[in-house]
Amino acid sequence: MKRRTCWSAGLIVTSVLARAAAVYADPAVVDCSKKSLADAVREASDKNSTISFTGICIGPVVVTSDGLTLKGVGTAIIDGAGADALTLAGTSRVSLIDFEVTNGLNGVVIRDGGNVTLTGVNPHDNARAGVLIQTASSAALTNVIATNNVIGVSVDDGVSVAIGSSTFTGNVARDLQLTFGSRVSIQSLVVGTYACDATVLVRGGSITCPH
């Protein structure tokens, strides 16, 4: 009886370990040590799809599909390798969730009327802007931490942005730059240095334009 009990316990342990390994190797999660995130995004043909990814993913990554969600799992980093790390041009209803963006010319670029939400995104150590939003685009930033870029977040050219519960500090030139007809709504933002001109409309927060 004892021998049979030990054998059954061994089966249970083996089964648990197998299930854990299956979760870790979930084929629904792009492991950037094995597959290119840029390729996975380019191959996404279904609108409103979700791509979860983990590891260090070498960019540039370009999103062209509407309704796409990019979600980091565990340690998830997009490394721009000196180019714009992540670009969203004219795409609508795109969601970026829980990952870092680093080592790019710019970290996240939203342009040409794009509509994007960023939640839990951390752009850092990019050569220009951590997040660059321009040309009549709109974005919502929640729990975004932008640090150690030249400019933390740059908003320009008729852009509409909502910012909540975010921190833009420790960037080289300035933490937030608002120019040329941009409109910004702020709730709970920790920001160090900023600059804005007389064309900018800011609601909430303690930012005064021109500055």
Q: Could you list the pLDDT tens digit for every one of the 211 residues in the chain?
A: 444 433 343 433 334 334 334 434 566 899 999 999 999 999 886 676 899 999 999 999 999 989 999 999 999 999 999 999 999 999 999 999 999 999 999 999 999 999 999 999 999 999 999 999 999 999 999 999 999 999 999 999 999 999 999 999 999 999 999 999 999 999 999 999 999 999 999 999 889 999 9
Main-chain dihedrals φ then ψ at residue 101, nearest 5 degrees: -130, 120
Distance of alpha carbon 174 from alpha carbon 162, whole angstroms: 19
Q: Average per-residue pLDDT in the chain?
A: 89
The whole-number pLDDT of residue 147 equals 98
The whole-number pLDDT of residue 26 equals 62
Residue 11 neighbours by CB distance under 10 Å: 10
- C-alpha distances out from residue 112 to 7, 59, 168, Å: 63, 20, 24
Nearest 5°: the CA angle 165, 168, 174 is: 150
Task: Look up the pTM and report it.
Answer: 0.87
